[in-house]
Amino acid sequence: MSEIRTFQPQFQQQKPSEGQAYAPQPGGAPGPGGQMGDQSDSAIRAFLRARGNSALADGGFRALMVLCGFSIFGIVALIAIVLIYRSGLVWHNFGLRFFYTYDKDPATGQPLYWDPVNGHFSAVPFLYGTLVSSFLALLLAVPLAIGVAIFLTEMCPKMLRAPLAFLTELLAAIPSVIYGLWAVFILVPLLREHVNPLLSKGLGWTGLFTDDNPTGLGFVSAGIILAIMILPIISSLTREVMIAVPHSQREAVLALGATRWEMIRMGVLRNARIGIVGGVMLGLGRALGETMAVAMVIGNTAEIHRNLLANGASMASVIANEYAEATSDLHRSALTELGLALFIVTILVNALARLLVWAVTRGAPAQAH
Amino acid sequence: MGVGIEVTNLNAWYGTNHTLQDINLHIPANHATALIGPSGCGKSTFVRCLNRMHETNPIARVTGGVKVGDVDIYADAKPVEIRRRIGMVFQRPNPFPTMSIYDNVASGLKLNGYRNRRVLDEIVEKSLRNSALWDEVKDDLRKKSGASLSGGQQQRLCIARALAVDPEVLLMDEPASALDPVSTSKIEDLIFELKSQYTIVIVTHNMQQAARVAEKTGFFLNGRLVEFDSTHKIFTNPSDKRTEDYITGRFG
């Protein structure tokens, strides 16, 4: 924008002198070309003069680009408006209660979390499913991702570095439905046949792992598949912030007699930690909103279980599963309200994450010099 | 107290670049020894060979012998043990920005698992006094980060960090070249103070600095040690023509 502004005055200043140069000589031959117009370059000059000052085209271009730029705001605003508008019915009927309470069967006292046919709606089981599966994913993915990043930046032979980094980032490009398919065919049977019985035997006493689900679907399956999906994002960002740590920090620690691990812990991870937290939050943002793969393996039962091997549902998965078949306005509105909540949370998480990563890579550790 | 260093037939490479060729010299204990020479002459590589920092670069290679006290550091010890005994101060101050001033000084000891709070407090104070920084930071020891200090203070903090592990040798790779004249003179005073307790090897571009702080001076050129003698002799009556040309400012 500033370039255009500074350019225009120069352009206008040139015009008078141009005019003088081409002005007909007093008493000379008529016509805008004057003497010079008779020379061999007249065709070019006439052509260029005929183009005018291009103000219209320039202005048009500028307006178009501004429109493109602001369309981002427009899109975000439109999404928000539609979500708010479409979820109005549930907001009107339940208010904030939608997010923290649920109906109970007056006869048995059993919770009725979500029963669209009979008009029971609550976000609680989906909030629970989303949080539990995302938290499991972070628990599994963060140590692995940091390990991958450490190996790639500090230990990997140069030859292997580029292919490995490329492969890790390729993981992020695989469509989530493919992850879902892989999970359904490989991961879920594996968990069902081998892992879940072991978890149940070893950790059953915690109450978190009770192998009473014959499907093999559930929170653990969803958490593992999410972990694989967010691994590349966390490890590539961790790698980025680790690379941003100046070499002098590594040398400072080494010169104190540090081993390789101590050097990485004190000289690299410590300096990069804010950025790593940012990377983890970015992974969390993706895990919260991930839809397809989760919908394929979480089991899609709107229930709350302490048992992580039980079926559940997440906010994203229930929208994907039910929206097309939702018949009542209230049902659609409830699903939209879940979408709105997801929209707000993921935007906040992502914004915070980007801010943290930016704080590190823009050169905060460089203060060290 | 410091120990002497005996260097025999030291050769070093960066990739195919033969940066140090057949260096032999004896660095006396409890004195300051200055290494001068034009950029790229190998003097920094040389000090980095004395605590095995040179080999942290994967393409670097070293042959020959370096005896620090009684220990041949390339034959009898692992790099980690060597670096615990030999402190190093770098050209650009590199305190740990995420640590407080106190933790910066204590970092070497904490790294090696030293946890006695009372002793740590004493060592931190002593090291900061030794590096002439105590009076300027004593009220903010735990409040301020190492990166919040000025450049000269940061460098003295790095010296305190190196001193806290009570090294036998202190290597300084152009410790004042990134600093203003006032900070530089503080660092020089400090070297003058410290050299009775530590063996100090200081690389410098600044010949006056070498003349002011060091008893012995070595002149490096193109990866070779041209001359090594008392500082007085080097600066008044050098035996090699190239040394004379360099100290009189005819090149470099």
- For an interface test with A, which of B94, B114, B163, B179 has the most A Cβ atoms less than 10 Å from its Cβ? B94
Task: Identify all chain B residues contacting A251, using CB atoms and an 8 Å cutoff.
Answer: 53, 56, 90, 94
CB contact under 8 A, B147 and A367: yes
Judge whether B29 and B210 are in contact, CB under 8 Å.
no
Q: What is the pLDDT of residue B215?
A: 94
Report which of A333, A198, A356, A190 is spatially closest to residue A283, judged by C-alpha positions. A356
CB contact under 8 A, B94 and A246: yes
Task: Identify all chain A residues contacting B108, using CB atoms and an 8 Å cutoff.
Answer: 256-257
CB contact under 8 A, B107 and A257: no
Q: Is A315 exposed, middle or buried (0-12, 13-18, 19+ CB in 10 A)?
A: buried
Q: What is the pLDDT of residue B252?
A: 57
Task: Identify all chain B residues contacting A277, using CB atoms and an 8 Å cutoff.
Answer: none
Global confidence as pTM:
0.80
Judge whether B211 and B227 are in contact, CB under 8 Å.
no
Class of domain B5-99+167-247: alpha beta
What is the helix (H) or strand (E) element at residue A203, kind and residue range? helix A196-203
Query: How many A×B Cβ pairs under 8 Å?
Result: 78
Q: What is the pLDDT of residue B35?
A: 95
CA distance A266 to chain B (A): 8
Task: Identify all chain B residues contacting A267, using CB atoms and an 8 Å cutoff.
Answer: 96
Q: Which two tokens stand for residue A347?
A: 């935007």
Task: Enter the ipTM.
Answer: 0.92
A260 touches chain B (CB under 8 A): no
Of A259, A273, A367, the CB nearest to B80: A259
CB contact under 8 A, B96 and A369: no
Task: Identify all chain A residues contacting B85, using CB atoms and an 8 Å cutoff.
Answer: 257
Of A251, A257, A267, the CB nearest to B90: A251
Q: What is the pLDDT of residue A295?
A: 94
Q: Which two tokens stand for residue A169?
A: 């980032």
Domain ranges of chain A: 42-73, 87-367
Of B87, B94, B161, the CB nearest to A249: B94
Of A251, A256, A273, the CB nearest to B111: A256
Q: What is the pLDDT of residue A40?
A: 61
Domain ranges of chain B: 5-99+167-247
In B, residues 183-222, which contact A (CB 8 Å cutoff)?
none
Give the pLDDT means over successive 10-residue stretches in chain A (369 positions).
41 45 47 50 85 86 94 94 93 91 88 89 94 96 95 89 89 92 95 91 88 89 95 92 92 93 93 91 93 93 92 94 91 95 93 86 49
Q: Which two tokens stand for residue B213?
A: 């702080």
Q: How far apart are CA A225 and CA A176, in angstroms?
A: 10
Q: How far apart are CA B187 and CA B175, in angstroms?
A: 8
Q: Which residues of chain B have pLDDT under 50?
A: none
Q: Which two tokens stand for residue B186?
A: 């503080």
The C-alpha angle with vertex B192 and arms to B186 and B196, in degrees rounded to 5, equals 145
A54 touches chain B (CB under 8 A): no
CB contact under 8 A, A251 and B83: no
Of A257, A258, A368, the CB nearest to B97: A368
Task: Identify all chain B residues contacting A248, using CB atoms and an 8 Å cutoff.
Answer: 90, 92, 94
Helix H segments across chain B?
A: 43-50, 79-85, 101-111, 117-130, 134-137, 151-163, 181-194, 207-213, 231-236, 241-247
CB contact under 8 A, A252 and B96: yes
Report which of B178, A31, A36, A123 is spatially closest to residue A114, judged by C-alpha positions. A123
CB contact under 8 A, B83 and A367: no
Task: Identify all chain A residues contacting B56, using CB atoms and an 8 Å cutoff.
Answer: 251, 254
Assigned CATH for A87-367:
1.10.3720.10
In B, residues 153-172, which contact A (CB 8 Å cutoff)?
158, 161-162, 165
3-state SS assignment for residue B149? coil
**Residue of chain B whose Cα is closest to the Cα of A273:** B98
Of B83, B98, B178, the CB nearest to A255: B83
Task: Identify all chain B residues contacting A256, using CB atoms and an 8 Å cutoff.
Answer: 83-84, 107-108, 111, 161-162, 165
